[in-house]
Amino acid sequence: MNYRLSIRLEQLERATERLIQSAEALGERAHQSPGPGKWSAAQVVQHLLISETGINQYLEKKVLEAEGLQHAGLGHFLRSRVLRVLLRVPFLRFKAPTYLASKMPVSAPPLPELRQQWASVRRRLEQLLNEYPEHLMRRAIFRHPRSGMLTIAQTLDFMVDHVLHHQKQLERIAKVVKL
């Protein structure tokens, strides 16, 4: 695996483990919504799992269509950086894309089941990254719904930032449900 991708995957692993542990620390309250129309901690975990599953499927498809991928330029870099900054602003909240939100069931499965599913999805991502062709490193491969096309490294950066963004959400949920 490319060294830069390896570092990003390691960051993603650490952020994901911290997020899951935060949800597990809530015990039975992990499935308790902090308010009407708001996700429980388990639903946040499930959202991230569904998101990563979709990203994996998209990447696997695009690797097969590699010759049609455009080279990433300055615009791709700038949009990626703006996305990273916005995801790190604590008071900003984003609605999940409609197609992603539609895949969210009303209630989430138990956290051990989500952990197991996520481990499987993560191993698929790791396999994809292990086999990722070096000549595609500077190609735009993933279409983010708000910032447009990203390279594989920018995609992993987004995935890390996405988990960290939802970690803050879990902290807000924990304050409410622990009362």
- For residues 102 and 96, the answer to whether their CB atoms sit within 8 Å is no
pLDDT classification of 179: cutoffs 50, 70, 90 = low
pLDDT of 78 strictly over 90: no
pTM of the model: 0.88
Whole domain around residue 45: which residue ranges? 3-177
Domain count, the chain: 1
d(CA 55, CA 30) in angstroms, rounded, equals 25
E strand map for the chain: 142-144, 148-150
Looking at residue 119, which CATH number applies to its domain? 1.20.120.450
pLDDT in tens, 11-44: 999 999 999 999 999 999 999 999 898 999 999 9
Query: Exposed, middle or buried by CB within 10 Å (0-12, 13-18, 19+), for 86?
Result: middle
